[in-house]
Every structure is written in C-alpha cells, then in structure tokens.
Amino acid sequence: MAEIESVMNAPEGFADFAQEGETIAEKRLHRKQRLAAAFRLFGKFGFDEGLAGHITVRDPEFPECFWVNPMGVSFKQIKVSDLLLVSHKGEIVEGSGILNSAAFTIHSAIHAARPDVLAAAHAHSTYGKAWSALRRPLDPITQDACAFYDDHVLFNDYTGVVLDGGEGVRIASDLGDNKAAILSNHGLLTVGKSVEEAVWWYITMERSCQAQLLAEAAGTPVLIDPDVAKLTHDTVGTDMAGWFSFQPLYSVICAEQPDLFD
C-alpha cells in the first residue's frame, strides 16, 4: 500500500521528467503520440458523436499554440500525422484539415486562462450528456467519483453551440482552478497537466456519471462522508494519479492500433 500511495502522490512534474524527453522535438512527439492515442481510446469507448468532440495539448515550443484533431476525421482513425497545430488566434500553423470552431472557442480560452493546463478534453459522450441535462454536480458516491470532490464545477448556462468567444471565456472562468466542468445540456470537459491526466479524468468522469445515473435509478445513493471524500480525493485525484491511471489504456491501444503512430 505504501508503494501505491508514493506513486499516486509523486511530485508534480514527475510524469514530464520521466516520460517526455529532453529536446523540444522529443516532447512534441510524445505529446502528439499521446493525443492520437487518446482519440483512438475515445473512439474505442464510443465517445464520438458526428463532428463533436476535441482534445488539445499545448505545444512545448510555442505555448500559445495547441495541437487538436481536424474536424471530420473519426476518432477511430486519427493518426499523429493528422493533428493540427493551431494558434490562439485560430490560425492553422501546421497540418491540413478543417478546424472545429467550437474546439477553438472552448480550448483557446482554457489554455489562455490556465497556464498550468497542458491538455483539455471535451466530447458528447452518452452518460456525460445525460448527467449534464440534470444540471447537477456529481456526488461523492463512489471512490472513483471522489477524484472530482470539490474539484469540478457546473457551467449552468446552455446557449447553443459554443461559437462565441465570450462563451469560451465564461466556461474558462467558471472552470477556475478545477480539473473538470459539467457543461449543462452539453457534456463534460476535463483538463490536466498532461494529455494522459486530462484524458483519464474524462474517461473516469464519464463512468462516474454512468454510475450515479444507475445508482439513482435503483434507489437513493449513500454519500461518502465529506472528510473521507476529501481524503480519497487527495489519493485518487492528484495529477500523478491521473497520469498513472492512463498508462494501461495507452499500452493496450498502442498494441491494438499501432497505425495511430503514422
């Protein structure tokens, strides 16, 4: 147990130090590979919905730019070579394809407001959409849900597809320094200090929405005591815990779909 706790609470920056390499080129390739793998995982888990959904990661050399998926390419088929480098002005700096306007509106505002955020993920996954329609934060009813205890917000204002830059700024403002947001009548949004962390938070938040919907359909869930929920958050909700939890998924998707590296 002591070994597990030491990994979950490793110093911030450990993942970057241990995994990203030393040169700009190595860091960029590392981030793009994890980003492509993240899209394949989203596709594998059924988080794709037409043209909706996007994951971004900040470029290591040009922090005012981020890598994102081109609109119209299936999550299930995205490769490293497909990714677009986009400036905070909405210009495609590298790559060919169409930039999703909602992706730019939401993610550019988040990256601008949160220098600590390396990656952000948003999709229209089934359980996240269903839970967002209730316009309620998640309750601490499971150990996994405690990762979001006092660490996520409800953006309680749906005004249509996010194309207005002002709405992106408001989402970023409401997010504050939290790791996730429930966008009312829309879906989920998660952020992290690595692609791995942001994507894991999305996956486990989607499952937490599913678990609460199931629990409430069966009866009245019993909430975890606040002190215990906070203690649990401090173990399963750390940056390192998010990064580490992604590693088995990354290993599996790389073995199953090695063409993602093309």
- 242, 197 in Cβ contact below 8 A? yes
pLDDT mean over 199-207? 98
- pTM for this model (two decimals): 0.92
pLDDT of the residue at 183: 96
In tens, the pLDDT along 16-67 reads 444 688 899 999 999 999 999 999 999 999 999 999 999 999 999 999 999 9
What's the whole-number mean pLDDT along residues 239-247? Answer: 96
Residues 73-93: what's their mean pLDDT? 95
- pLDDT, one tens digit per residue, over 152-192 is 999 998 776 655 557 789 999 999 999 999 999 999 999 99
Domains and CATH numbers, the chain: 2-261 (3.40.225.10)
| Of 13-27, 75-89, 107-121, 210-224, the least confident | 13-27
Question: Exposed, middle or buried, 258 (CB in 10 Å: 0-12/13-18/19+)?
Answer: exposed
More confident residue, 39 or 2: 39
Residue 100, SS3 per DSSP: coil
Name the packing angle between helices 195-218 and 24-44 (round to 10°): 20
Helix (H) or strand (E) holding 56: strand 54-58
Q: What are phi and psi of 234, to 5 degrees?
A: -70, -10
> For 127-155, how does the pLDDT look when each residue is reduced to its tens digit (9 = 90+)?
999 999 999 999 999 999 999 999 999 99
Tell me the three state secondary structure of residue 66. Answer: strand
Please state, as a whole number, how many other Cβ atoms lie within 10 Å of the Cβ of residue 205. Answer: 28
Question: What is the arithmetic mean of pLDDT over 111-132?
Answer: 96
CB 190 within 8 A of CB 125: no
pLDDT for 11 equals 46
Angle at 223 between CA 186 and CA 228, to 5 degrees: 110
What average pLDDT does the chain have? 91
